[in-house]
Structure formats: C-alpha cells, structure tokens
Amino acid sequence: MNFASDNAGPMHPRVLDAIIAANSGYEMPYGNDTIMPRVRDMIRATFEAPQAAVYLVATGTAANALALSTYTNSWDTIFAHRVSHVEEDECGAPNFYSNGAKLTLVDGIGAKMDPDALRRAIATTGQKDVHSAQPGPVTITQATEVGTLYSLGEIAQITAIAKDHGLKTHLDGARFANACAALGCSASDMTWKAGIDMVSFGGTKNGCAGVEAVIFFDPEKAWEFELRRKRGAHLFSKHRFLSAQMEGYLSGDLWLELGAQANANCARLVKGLETIAGAEIPDTPQANMVFANLPRAAHRRAMGAGAQYYLFPSDASLDGPDDELIRARFVCDWSKPTSEIDQLITLLRG
Amino acid sequence: MNFASDNAGPMHPRVLDAIIAANSGYEMPYGNDTIMPRVRDMIRATFEAPQAAVYLVATGTAANALALSTYTNSWDTIFAHRVSHVEEDECGAPNFYSNGAKLTLVDGIGAKMDPDALRRAIATTGQKDVHSAQPGPVTITQATEVGTLYSLGEIAQITAIAKDHGLKTHLDGARFANACAALGCSASDMTWKAGIDMVSFGGTKNGCAGVEAVIFFDPEKAWEFELRRKRGAHLFSKHRFLSAQMEGYLSGDLWLELGAQANANCARLVKGLETIAGAEIPDTPQANMVFANLPRAAHRRAMGAGAQYYLFPSDASLDGPDDELIRARFVCDWSKPTSEIDQLITLLRG
Amino acid sequence: MNFASDNAGPMHPRVLDAIIAANSGYEMPYGNDTIMPRVRDMIRATFEAPQAAVYLVATGTAANALALSTYTNSWDTIFAHRVSHVEEDECGAPNFYSNGAKLTLVDGIGAKMDPDALRRAIATTGQKDVHSAQPGPVTITQATEVGTLYSLGEIAQITAIAKDHGLKTHLDGARFANACAALGCSASDMTWKAGIDMVSFGGTKNGCAGVEAVIFFDPEKAWEFELRRKRGAHLFSKHRFLSAQMEGYLSGDLWLELGAQANANCARLVKGLETIAGAEIPDTPQANMVFANLPRAAHRRAMGAGAQYYLFPSDASLDGPDDELIRARFVCDWSKPTSEIDQLITLLRG
Amino acid sequence: MNFASDNAGPMHPRVLDAIIAANSGYEMPYGNDTIMPRVRDMIRATFEAPQAAVYLVATGTAANALALSTYTNSWDTIFAHRVSHVEEDECGAPNFYSNGAKLTLVDGIGAKMDPDALRRAIATTGQKDVHSAQPGPVTITQATEVGTLYSLGEIAQITAIAKDHGLKTHLDGARFANACAALGCSASDMTWKAGIDMVSFGGTKNGCAGVEAVIFFDPEKAWEFELRRKRGAHLFSKHRFLSAQMEGYLSGDLWLELGAQANANCARLVKGLETIAGAEIPDTPQANMVFANLPRAAHRRAMGAGAQYYLFPSDASLDGPDDELIRARFVCDWSKPTSEIDQLITLLRG
C-alpha cells in the first residue's frame, strides 16, 4: 500500500521488455544508438512537431534545469510558481545550471500561476536597468505539484503574457501524461499550440525506470543543449537504454494509457476518501494526486497496517486526539491495484 | 564486430536479471530503496572500508565531477594527466561542478603521471600567493585512457606526493575492474591502501547499463556530496534501478570476472594483431584496450566488412597507399565472442 | 539641487587630501602599502574588535557579495528583506559570487525584517532534506533602503534567530555612518555586540570616492576571503588609494561626523516637506533619506528649476492634474548646502 | 629605489588634477556622469573607432575577465600564452567570470604565442564533438609579461588564425601605452587594424590610480557587458572618478607620453645593466621591463641599500657564492627619476 509517490512504482512490463530487447549486441554510444532516431520520430509525431529537437535524460530535474538554462542568461530571473518543483524540490539545480540565475516566485491558487500576478512580476522585473536581474523564461508545471491542471486556455493566457515581453516558456511535464489524459487533448494542444516553447516530457513517474525527453519546438539551440547536457554529465554512454525506455513508453501510446490509468486509480481513491467521516478535500483532484485532511485515527489505522504516504507537516504525530484532521498526500501511478486502493479506504474508514 | 568502445556492449545477463527482479512492487525513491543498504555493505566489504560513504550515479562523468568537486574550491586547480577523461572527454564537467576550478595538466608516458612532473606542477602552483590558483586534488585514471596501468607502487608514489602537499587524491576507475583483474590485487590494495581518498568505481563499461559508485573512504563530506548530487540532478527518483545494477554487478564478484574476461579478450586480439605484417603496437596493452598502427589495406578490409573501431586522426582516409600505417584503437568488453575477435584478425591480416 | 542619491556627491576634502598625500613616491601593491596596517588598526579600534579581519574593496556590491559568499554554500539560500540592495540593486551579484545560491525574501514593514517572518522563513527552509536549498546567512541593511533604522534590540532579535539555527549574520552598512549617528551608538554596539558576524562598512556614499571595508569579527576565513577578492578582480594593485580614502574617512571620526551631517540635512529637508500643502510622508525618516508623496505641481516647479531626484514609478509624468500626489525619494549626503535644501523646499512649496 | 612593478608608482599630476577637478559638485552615478561622454569620444578618436563600445573598470583583472567572458561560453576554452596574466596572476578570474570555461595554454618564446602552436591548439580543440571543450577567444598580451612586443605583423598573424576558425580576439593592454610608444604605431594599428576585436586598455600601471578601459570595436554585446560589469560588482557609483582619471590620462596624449617615458627609463636601466660584470640579459627588453641574471653580490649590495625588485625564484637567498647569477625583474614606470636608475646601477655594479 504505497501511495507516497508515483516514483515509487515499477516499470510497466512493456518498458521493461524494451530494455531487454535493447540489450542484444552492440550499439554506438552517446545517443548514436539505432533506437534514438525512432524515438525522435515518434516524439515529433506525437507532438506534431516535425522540426523539434528531442533529447533524453534520466531525471526530471535534469530535464528542467538543462532546458531552462538553454534560454536563461546568468543575470536573468526565471518566473515560476512558488509551489513548483524547480523552486522547492531541486536543491537549486536551475540556479546551478544557469550559472546563478534567480527565480521570481509567482503566486496563484492551486499551484497555478495567476496571470495577473505573472504580468505584475514581469513588469516589475528589470525596471532598474542594469541594476536589476533581467526577465528570463516562464515555467509552468502541468499537472501541478498539487494535482491540479491548467486548462488549455489558461496555458495560452500565461504564454501570451510571456510572449508580450519576449520571454520563452517552458512546461515541466513530469506528469505530462496525466494532464493530457485528464484534459483529453493532444500533446500539441497542451504545448506549442498553446504557446509553449520547450517541454520536459516525463516518463519516470509513469511507468519508466528513469527517462525524460527534453523537447524544443524551435531547434535553434539544439547544439548548445547537447553541450550543456554533456557538461552536466547527463549524456549517457549506453544511451540505448534511455532510448529503449522511451520507445516502449511511446509505442501504442502507452504513455497516455498509463496516465489515464493513474488518473482513474486516483479518482477511485478520491471517491473512497469522500466517504470517510470528517474528511476534507480542499482542491478538486484532476490528475493522479489528492490532498486530503483526514482524522488522526484514520491515519493511525492505515499507517499502522503499513500504508505509506506523506503527512503535512512531515513531523505530524499519530499520537493525539482521534478527530483532529491531519493533511495527507496520496499519489497513484498506473500500477496501483484496485484492491490496494479499496483496502486503503477500508483502513482509513475504520 | 564492434571494437569501438566498451560502452558499446550490452548488460551482462545477471545485471539485467537484477533489474528485472527489482521491478516488482514499490520502493521508496531517492536512494531509500531496500536494495541500496545491501549495495553499500557489499562495496564496503569489497573495499574493506567499513566507514566508507557510498553513492550511486548513472554516468562516469557525473561520478568524476561530483567526487572531485566535493574537495575542490572554485579557486583551486586539479592535477590531472593531459590524456585523461576529465580533461579530454567531459566538456568541462569538472570545471562546471567545481564552479570554475582549473585543471593543471601533468605529463608522463603511457597516459600515466610522471611523479617528478607532478611534484614540479604542485610546487609551482600557488607560488604567487593570492594571485595564483591554489593546489587542489590529484586525480589519476586506472586503467588509463590508453590501456596502461599504474602499478600499486606507482599509485602510492603519486599519492605520497599529494599528501606531502596536503592534497586529496581521486582515482577515476571507469575501468577499475580491468585494472584490478590485471594487477591481481584487491580493491583496497589499489585504492586506500595505496593512498587514494575517493574513487569513481565504474560499472557502465563492464556489463552494466549505467551505474557508477562514488566512494569516499573518509565520510566527512558525505552530506555535502548528497547535496551536490541532487543539485547536479543526478539523484535518481527510481534509484532502485541503479541499486539493482550495482548489486548484480557486485554479487559473486561478477565485476572482477567481467574485467578479467575483457582483458583476456583483448590479449587474444593483441596476439592476433602481432601476426599482421607491418603492425606496430607502441604501448604494451595491459587491460582491455590496444592502440595499433596497421597498414591502410588492413583497415580497408576490416572496415569494409563492417568492423567498427576508431582511427587516429578521426578523419583518416581509407583511400591512399596500402602500406601506410594508420593508428587504430580497439577496445574489448567482457561480451566479445572469441569468434568475432578471430574474424577481425582474419580480415585485418587479409 | 541634486537629491537623487548620496552617491551623487563629492569626496570630503579630508578624504581627497588623504589621496593627494598618498600619491607621493612608491608603495608596494595589492594591499601591501604602508597605509593599510594603520587602516586595519583604526577599524579594529573603531569596532573594538582587535582580532577582526579587515579588507577594502571599491564598491558596496563587491563588499556585500564577497562577504556573503564567504559564508554561503552554492546550495544555500540567503535570507534578505524583499526591499534590500542585494535583492533589488545588484543584478544578482550575490548569486554570482556564491556560485548560484538563492535568496529567500523576508517581509517586514519599513524595509526591516519582521522577526517572525524570518523565523518562519528559516523554519520552512531545508525541510525537504537534500531536495531543498539549505539555510544560509541572514543579511540586514542598516540604515535600510527606505531610510529607516533597526534599533539595537531589533538587530539582536534578528541575529538571535539566526544563531538559533546556526546561521551567520551580515550587516549591509552602505549607510552605516548615518545609522550609527542616528542611533547614537558605537560601531560595536550596532554590530558584534548585537550578534553581527560580518559587516560591509560603507565609505562611498558618505564622503569617499569609492571604498568599503569588509569586516569579519571572526577571522577564520580571512585567507579564503582574500582569494575570493582576487578571483573577483576586486584586489587593487594601487591599493594605497583605497587605504588612503579609508584612513582619511576614519581619522578624527570623520565618518561619524559626515553621517550626522547628512542626517541633519535630511531632517531639515523633512521639516520643510511637512510644510507643503498636501504632502504625505509615509515612513518617519530616521537617517538621510525621505520618501514623500507630493502634489504634481510641486514636482513640476522643482524639477523645472533643475532639481534632481527620483519619482515612483520612475516613468511618472509631470503632465496631469496639479494636485495628484506623486511619490518621490530625496537623499541627502553630508555635502548638501543648507541653502540648496531651503531652495528646494521653496520651489516645492510654490 | 622601487623597481618592483609599475603598479608601485604614483599617479601622474595631471591625472590627480583631473580627480580634484571632478570633485566639485554633484554628478549622476553609475556611468551617467558628465565626464564619461567625453572619455568615450576621446577613446573612439584615439582608436579611430567611432562605433566602439567603451567602458571603464578599476582593475586590469576586471577588464580582462569581463571582456573575455562576454565572448566565452562556459563550455569554451580560451587560448592564452602559458606566461600570461590571465593564466598566472588572476586567481582564475577568467574561469570565474566565464562560469567555468577553461584556458588552453599556448607556448612561444618571449611570452609571445607561436602562430603554429596556436594553430595546432585550435585545430585539436573540440575534435571530440560534444565531449570536448569548444574553441573560445584568443587573448594576447601587449607588451607581454616579460617585456617583449608582438610586431604589428605578428599580431595580424595571430588574429588571422583566430578568424580562420571564427574566433574572437582580445588584447590584454595593461601596458598598451608602453607597447604603442615602442612600436611607434597608432592605437588602431595595434588593435582593430591588426584584427583585434576587444581591448583592455590599461591606465593603472601608467600614471593612473586605478582605471582601465574595455573597448569592443563591434558594440553588438554592449548591453550584455554592462550587465556583466554590474553583476561582477565593477560598476562604480561615483563613476566620475574613473572617468576623470581616464580623461586626464587621454588628454594631450598623456598616456603615450608616459609610456614612452617609462620605456626610456627602462632603456637607461638596461644600458647600465649591460655594464655590470657577469650580467646576462636573456630577452632583449622592448618596453619598460627587463629580466637580468646578475651576480649575487650585486643583489646583496642593491637590496642591502633598500632597492626593491623581484628575484626568481622568489625565495632566492642573498647568502651564497658572490658570483652565482640570480635572475631579477626590474620594472620602470614613467615616474622613475634618472638619479634613482643611476643609483641602482651604481649599487649593482659595486
């Protein structure tokens, strides 16, 4: 009963099979394997972007930091939501890879940038001429860190503001598939058609072992990215094993199927949570993650039986009044068996 | 017939099996998987270093750059051989991870640091007080980039010079297993017993998909290393797949067996090369790599039949006089079938 | 009638005289001039800190960025007020010199850190273990960027919070003299006796041409600072001219006298501003700077007659209704003639 | 009798007078003073470069590091002579300002780059594709660190090689005036007419207190340079005092007059040194610096009488055989009285 994160789950069998298949014989290293051209073509087809530059790395943080750094001067500031992976969970990787750029934190409910807040933040950046950090790219997360979604219109609104100021836009898609499945839109709808310039397209949380694609719809800085990737030590010698994962993930739109499955698992979980006496679910979950305030006694039962998930604050105690609500985060990946979800609910309900 | 590099080969079946086994069920992310404690214990046992701090990353460049940066101030210079991976093949990753430290290039035949050259290089560094870069760590490569080996005494000589000046020592062991097998020594003999402070212990080139261990015999900077790894985007969420590879690689001393096998393959190849009319083999190959000057006609036959390996210079032409010698590099990994080696020799011999 | 900034004014004659005196004959370069030992002693005496490490640089940004970087790891975040020079006016110099550290912005009225806000900011930093930026030093500005002052008790409160968490504290004293004069305290009262670890002691804005002292009360990192200063290109070859300025500035407590004079000039200005119909002065000015909301017609008269000062927003137009209030900043240095202050008031009053 | 360095001497009276004159009244800060436009025009006229971007900083290291960084990617390597200020005397400032670029050391006699060595160095850089550091700018020093000069033809040869490979060229002109005076050429002859793209034009060593101009003949990156200067903390608030120095230095071609005077002083010194029994002068001095091997007894006499200059090695002892030769460096600036030069020779001669 592990609901701690979607990075706690296994590879999907088809991704594993792709690795096994890729393991026969010899392949030239460093991205020159015979699988990568197929991956490139599949991603270009998936995103309807025949010119896109496509690269693979192994971690989401690498994808974000390398992509952003390609369009960030060291004296720039990146616009990101206060509750975003680049700000909260990467130990300053974007600052490191951009050689010391800053992050300007933009607010907005549900971990989504408020367009007015973004507009104000950009407008007040660089006002002091050479004394100020200068406006750099805008990055949004889809699905967000709290499981909410930007609508296509909301993405377009954010990117329009960026473009008004000549700024590039990045989409952190560690949970791209969940978002795409939930919105029922195409990969292109959610990206370049909505004004996004570059994407971190996540595989790791959704059935892969460790692979993320970085996609630039305009390939002008492709060579620079390759240098940055190598310099950052993120170019794999046995690159075929990244390529293979991504091929397995894209084939037959497995990525989308798994994203939808994770969402469905979460919806089942939410439905169950709603039946628990006293439970509160502040934001409406839209993808594969739910935050819920539940009575301490419920947590005591579930965790006592071995359920794994995070409480907030992280040092919240299970000792105390039964009815006091403690916030918890539950994340589902594609692999979660229905029986485990139901068992968790049963335990929580008591 | 791929003799281009030991990173062109596949995973060993036992490493792949370990990945498959690790794919069942849930594991906590970011190094908190249940496999990693076993890996840590195995490495400590293998190196007879019960206090060592042990971490996994996916690329050799990451292992080198992160390890070195932990003991390099930005105003330091790292002492490395002119022909070393950190200087020639990492696009400045050590400079990047150390926030702009320099490399001082030390000469010596066979890609091995000459002790006197090292002593002079250190002695003339930092002489100008605050105006000079300051002496940083010393890094050596074992086996070297040209397939030679430092004897245990030679390693001890290098590290003694470093210690005389209060400097830390690093061993780039991308081909650690080949060296250890060739010298017939233990992992501890080749490292801390010879004065080495930190090691990049390679798995990727020797039967893994992408895993390297960073080992600090003194764990004082363990926490700093963890921060650096995360900030560099090299901490895997599904870390279990790094752990699994390393466990498979260490179990039953597979690493050493594969290193010995690669060396044996290379010895067979060398023996064959020596039978080719006009062939010259400048350095005596000691591990799994051989440089040979061979007649152009030999290359024409072999490459024409599909053999893959590197020529020097890289743009050397196969058109020209038959007898002119062109330098080539051949690398064997554990997986090379005897038949392929013999076939290559047959082709080269004509 | 230049009230734009205290960096628009001239050197005090005694500072200039010190430069002239220093220009005879030869002096060893790079801080080895014969004046610097006297400067070191005078600063140690002024601050009652006989062990302090003392260095000179030419700009306030250099003083701040170099001092902070000496105690900031690249993965740290520096706690600074949202309205501070390090955040708003240094184009990311602290991020650059710390190799990519972040700034955590702390709020508080009058550009002064609210202690509770600081405590919360520290408490919520680094909570996510290796995934988070780690807590770095706390920096405060005295006098602040809006001309207010921390009381000695308020400084002690801030530093106590920092020390509770093991963090170092820095005081940006670009207007140290104004603050010290206004509080009527000693240099030591306002710094180490109140828990401050390092100080940027400003000369430039208060009668010098370009000199700031960096003072570490604990000299443990003195050598590291010297390397950082050189590497940052801030070590002067003809250092005697920095030393001379600082000697002239410290002799006979000129620094304090000039700070008091600038404050008195500002007080006279404030008194005059209060007589202007419709004028609002939101924060009580405590040093040498005042923000005032004044009718547009007043600005039109003053600026039309050549008065120089900044309006907010910077693109505020002088065309428009006469009575509409426009915010202005006026800064006095020691050199401002009484007649000019009175003339400005006369113009503004109409 | 200070012959240690040309940075040990005073300001020329006309430079000091310019500072004094600039000290009256108010001037807008940060380069917006009323003197700077005149300086810009004078430099453009001096260099016959009406479009040039011109900036002032206070140290030679800042000029070099900031200029180079403007045309150096972090993954590049800068081509510099092994005996150059950027390599030997700046504590890694070029590496710091370029966010971790490397330096490739090029050899050549007399501290002058050998064109063939440069061509080879460039040709062998970046050969390994993304794995290699990439070729960055070429920087030469004129006059060199050992007092020799590139002829105009030699400069043109170096820059032609750079341009063949699409690389920018920088001239470290800390002793620009000495070189120009010695060659009897114009500032434009020695720079853009010979293919130089950017110049550090030194004032500090030649009669100023601390000012260097950075000149870009193509202003395309002017704004970027301004941001880099501010971020590096090298933008002076009381910039007028940099402007004033440079104005005094340029007026009536004082810079050239002082350079010629320093050269003449050195020539007188060299003539005297040649009369010393046993003296050897390895390189023919061409500007204001001479290296000479002199008998220990000569040094003992001169230094015993208070003469200041550097010995090589720096820890050479005055105790030992009288006749043994010890290398010394003597540097003359414009201010050296003839009597002191003669007195030094008398002492050395015994």
Chain C hits for A133, Cβ within 8 Å: 91-92
Cβ–Cβ of B230/C131 closer than 8 Å? yes
Question: Is residue D58's pLDDT more than 90?
Answer: yes
Distance from CA of B196 to the nearest CA of A (A): 23
* pLDDT at residue C319, rounded to an integer: 94
Q: Residue B76, Cα to own-chain centre: how many angstroms?
A: 23
- Is the ipTM higher than 0.85? The answer is yes
Q: Do D203 and D246 touch, CB atoms closer than 8 A?
A: yes
* pLDDT at residue C127, rounded to an integer: 84
Distance from CA of C248 to the nearest CA of A (A): 29
Q: Among D92, D102, D127, whose Cβ lies nearest the Cβ of B75?
A: D92
CB < 8 Å from A in window 232-271 of D: 235
Chain A hits for B26, Cβ within 8 Å: 2, 4, 8-10, 308
The CATH architecture that domain D255-349 belongs to is Alpha-Beta Complex (3.90)
Amino acid at D79: F
Domain C256-349 listed as CATH 3.90.1150.10: yes
Helix (H, G, I), strand (E, B) or coil at B16: helix
Chain C neighbors (3+ CB pairs < 8 Å): A, B, D
Cβ–Cβ of B131/C230 closer than 8 Å? yes
Other CB atoms within 10 Å distance of the CB of residue C123: 12
Chain A hits for D228, Cβ within 8 Å: 75
User: Dihedral of the CA atoms A157, A161, A166, A171 (nearest 10)?
Assistant: -50
User: Does the CB of D123 have a partner CB in chain B at under 8 Å?
Assistant: no
pLDDT tens for each residue of A83-124: 999 999 999 999 999 999 999 999 999 999 999 999 999 999
B57-74 burial code (b ≥16 CB/10 A, e <16) = bbbbbbbbbbbbbbbbbb
Sheet containing C169-173: which strands, arranged edge to edge?
C53-57, C212-216, C198-202, C169-173, C134-141, C76-81, C102-106
Cβ–Cβ of A28/B4 closer than 8 Å? yes
User: Does the CB of B14 have a partner CB in chain A at under 8 Å?
Assistant: no
Question: Is residue C233's pLDDT more than 90?
Answer: yes
Nearest alpha-carbon partner for B29 in C64, A174, A239: A174
Q: Among B74, B131, B227, whose Cβ lies nearest the Cβ of C130?
A: B227
Instruction: Compare all CA atoms of chain D with the CA of A236 and give the residue at the minimum distance.
Output: D131
Other CB atoms within 10 Å distance of the CB of residue C19: 25
Mean pLDDT over all residues of chain B?
97
Side-chain-side CA neighbours of residue D9 (13 Å): 22
Q: Among C30, C99, C229, whose Cβ lies nearest the Cβ of B74?
A: C99
Please state, in angstroms and rounded to a whole number, the distance separating the CA atoms of residues B84 and B143: 11
User: Does the CB of C109 have a partner CB in chain D at under 8 Å?
Assistant: no
Q: Among A74, A75, A227, whose Cβ lies nearest the Cβ of D130?
A: A227
pLDDT tens for each residue of D183-204: 999 999 999 999 999 999 999 9
Instruction: Compare all CA atoms of chain A with the CA of B96 and give the residue at the minimum distance.
Output: A231
* pLDDT at residue D232, rounded to an integer: 98
Q: Where are the domains of chain B?
A: 13-254, 259-349
Please state, in angstroms and rounded to a whole number, the distance separating the CA atoms of residues D300 and C199: 45
Nearest alpha-carbon partner for D176 in D98, D92, D253: D253
User: Does the CB of D28 have a partner CB in chain C at under 8 Å?
Assistant: yes
Nearest alpha-carbon partner for A173 in A218, A143, A145: A143
Question: Is residue D128's pLDDT more than 90?
Answer: no
For residues C222-230, average pLDDT: 98
- HEC secondary structure over chain C: CECCCCCCCCCCHHHHHHHHHHCCCCCCCCCCCCCHHHHHHHHHHHCCCCCCEEEEECCHHHHHHHHHHHCCCCCEEEEEECCCHHHHCCCCHHHHHCCCCEEEEECCHHHCCCHHHHHHHHHCCCCCHHHCCEEEEEEEECCCCCCCCCCHHHHHHHHHHHHHCCCCEEEEECCHHHHHHHHCCCCCCCCHHHCCCEEEEECHHHCCCCCEEEEECCHHHHHHHHHHHHHCCCCCCCCHHHHHHHHHHHHHHHHHHHHHHHHHHHHHHHHHHCCCCCCECCCCCCCCEEEEEEEHHHHHHHHHCCCECEEECCCCCCCCCCCCEEEEEEECCCCCCHHHHHHHHHHHHC
User: Does the CB of C132 have a partner CB in chain B at under 8 Å?
Assistant: no
Chain C hits for B235, Cβ within 8 Å: 130
Helix (H, G, I), strand (E, B) or coil at A310: strand
Side-chain-side CA neighbours of residue C312 (13 Å): 12
Cβ–Cβ of D100/B92 closer than 8 Å? yes
Alpha-carbon dihedral sign for residues A81, A86, A92, A98: negative
Chain A neighbors (3+ CB pairs < 8 Å): B, C, D
Q: Give the H/E segment covering residue A259.
A: helix A254-273
User: Does the CB of D310 have a partner CB in chain C at under 8 Å?
Assistant: no
CATH number for the domain whose boundaries are D13-252: 3.40.640.10
Cβ–Cβ of A228/D99 closer than 8 Å? no
For residues B127-154, average pLDDT: 96
Cβ–Cβ of C26/D230 closer than 8 Å? no
Instruction: Sort C50 into a burial class: Cβ within 10 Å, 0-12 / 13-18 / 19+.
Output: exposed
Chain A hits for B204, Cβ within 8 Å: 237-238
Other CB atoms within 10 Å distance of the CB of residue A227: 25
For residues B154-174, average pLDDT: 98
Q: Give the H/E segment covering residue D202.
A: strand D198-202
* pLDDT at residue C11, rounded to an integer: 98
pLDDT tens for each residue of A37-71: 999 999 999 999 999 999 999 999 999 999 999 99
pLDDT tens for each residue of B299-318: 999 999 999 999 998 889 99
Alpha-carbon dihedral sign for residues A103, A108, A112, A115: negative
Q: Do D133 and B91 touch, CB atoms closer than 8 A?
A: yes
Distance from CA of D317 to the nearest CA of C (A): 21
Q: Show the CA angle centred on residue C195, arms to residues C191 and C200, nearest 5°.
A: 40
For residues B273-296, average pLDDT: 94
* pLDDT at residue B282, rounded to an integer: 87
Cβ–Cβ of C89/A130 closer than 8 Å? no
Cβ–Cβ of D75/A30 closer than 8 Å? no
Chain A hits for C102, Cβ within 8 Å: 92, 95, 102-103
Give the gyration radius of chain C's Cα atoms: 21
Q: Do B104 and B80 touch, CB atoms closer than 8 A?
A: yes
pLDDT tens for each residue of A210-243: 999 999 999 999 999 999 999 999 999 999 999 9
* pLDDT at residue B221, rounded to an integer: 98
Same CATH fold assignment for domains C13-254 and C256-349: no
Please state, in angstroms and rounded to a whole number, the distance separating the CA atoms of residues A237 and B59: 8
Q: Do B65 and A234 touch, CB atoms closer than 8 A?
A: no
User: Does the CB of B23 have a partner CB in chain A at under 8 Å?
Assistant: yes
* pLDDT at residue A1, rounded to an integer: 87
Alpha-carbon dihedral sign for residues D7, D13, D14, D15: positive
Q: How confident is the model at residue C236 (pLDDT cuts 50, 70, 90)?
A: very high
Please state, in angstroms and rounded to a whole number, the distance separating the CA atoms of residues C190 and C202: 14
Chain B hits for C73, Cβ within 8 Å: 224, 227
Question: Is residue C106's pLDDT more than 90?
Answer: yes
Alpha helices (runs of H) in chain D, residue ranges in sequence order: 13-22, 36-46, 60-70, 85-88, 93-97, 115-123, 152-164, 176-183, 222-231, 240-250, 254-273, 296-304, 338-349
Other CB atoms within 10 Å distance of the CB of residue A284: 11
* pLDDT at residue A42, rounded to an integer: 98
Please state, in angstroms and rounded to a whole number, the distance separating the CA atoms of residues C226 and A44: 52
Chain D hits for B99, Cβ within 8 Å: 96, 100
Distance from CA of A57 to the nearest CA of C (A): 19
User: Does the CB of B25 have a partner CB in chain D at under 8 Å?
Assistant: no
Q: Among B23, B91, B233, whose Cβ lies nearest the Cβ of A227?
A: B91
| DSSP 8-state code for residue B109 | G
Cβ–Cβ of B132/D74 closer than 8 Å? no
Question: Is residue B188's pLDDT more than 90?
Answer: yes
Chain A hits for B24, Cβ within 8 Å: 10
Please state, in angstroms and rounded to a whole number, the distance separating the CA atoms of residues D196 and D212: 17
Cβ–Cβ of D100/B95 closer than 8 Å? yes
Q: How confident is the model at residue D1 (pLDDT cuts 50, 70, 90)?
A: confident
Q: In a mutagenesis test of the A interface, which of D55, D57, D130 is the best target, namely the one with the most A β-carbons within 10 Å?
A: D130
Rounded to two decimals, the pTM is 0.97
Instruction: Sort A201 into a burial class: Cβ within 10 Å, 0-12 / 13-18 / 19+.
Output: buried
User: Does the CB of C96 have a partner CB in chain B at under 8 Å?
Assistant: no
Q: In a mutagenesis test of the B interface, which of A91, A265, A309, A330 is the best target, namely the one with the most B β-carbons within 10 Å?
A: A91
Q: Among B62, B209, B238, whose Cβ lies nearest the Cβ of A7?
A: B238
Side-chain-side CA neighbours of residue B175 (13 Å): 32
Chain A hits for C96, Cβ within 8 Å: 74, 99-100
Question: Is residue A329's pLDDT more than 90?
Answer: yes
% pLDDT > 90, chain B: 97
Amino acid at D336: K
pLDDT tens for each residue of D63-83: 999 999 999 999 999 999 999
Please state, in angstroms and rounded to a whole number, the distance separating the CA atoms of residues A142 and A179: 6
Distance from CA of B207 to the nearest CA of A (A): 11
B269's tokens = 């190849």
User: Does the CB of D90 have a partner CB in chain C at under 8 Å?
Assistant: yes
User: Does the CB of B339 have a partner CB in chain D at under 8 Å?
Assistant: no
Question: Is residue A284's pLDDT more than 90?
Answer: no
**Adjacent-strand bridge partners of C201:** C173, C213
Which CATH number is correct for B13-254, 3.40.640.10, 1.10.287.3510, 3.40.50.300, 3.40.50.2300? 3.40.640.10
Q: Do A9 and B239 touch, CB atoms closer than 8 A?
A: no
Distance from CA of B154 to the nearest CA of C (A): 33
Please state, in angstroms and rounded to a whole number, the distance separating the CA atoms of residues D229 and D225: 6
Please state, in angstroms and rounded to a whole number, the distance separating the CA atoms of residues B149 and B327: 21
Question: Is residue B293's pLDDT more than 90?
Answer: yes
Helix (H, G, I), strand (E, B) or coil at D241: helix
Helix (H, G, I), strand (E, B) or coil at A330: strand
CB pairs under 8 A between B and D: 61
Instruction: Compare all CA atoms of chain D with the CA of C16 and give the residue at the minimum distance.
Output: D20
* pLDDT at residue A128, rounded to an integer: 84
Chain D hits for A99, Cβ within 8 Å: 74, 99-100
pLDDT tens for each residue of C130-171: 999 999 999 999 999 999 999 999 999 999 999 999 999 999
User: Does the CB of C310 have a partner CB in chain A at under 8 Å?
Assistant: no
Mean pLDDT over all residues of chain A?
97
For residues D285-298, average pLDDT: 96
pLDDT tens for each residue of B205-227: 999 999 999 999 999 999 999 99
* pLDDT at residue D304, rounded to an integer: 95
Question: Is residue C283's pLDDT more than 90?
Answer: no
The CATH architecture that domain B259-349 belongs to is Alpha-Beta Complex (3.90)
